[in-house]
Amino acid sequence: MLHKFLFNRMSLENKVKHLHKKGVALGSRIKDGRQIHMYMLRDLFVEVTYTEDKSYMAPEKVKVLNGLNNLQQYLETEFRARF
């Protein structure tokens, strides 16, 4: 819980630096023509959207999901919205 609190207080750039250093890259997906990268950091799952969809460029947006159950619900909702 403390980890999530501290992570949420970081700047966007520092969140992504921390993900690259301590997190595990799980993969990427396409949403609305944009590539979104998924990372795992302990019990947090984090989606990152980068400028021009390139992971070496500046991050534009970070979405944090707490726990596997929240990730599963979120991805199921995203999947259903596509059809």
Rounded distance between C-alpha atoms, residue 37 and residue 12, angstroms: 15
State percent of the chain over pLDDT 90: 65
10 Å CB burial of residue 45 (0-12, 13-18, 19+) is buried
Provide the residue ranges of all domains of the chain, joining segments of one domain with +: 2-81
Q: Check whether 83 has a pLDDT greater than 90.
A: no
For residue 10, give the 3-state DSSP assignment: coil
Q: What is the pTM of this model?
A: 0.85
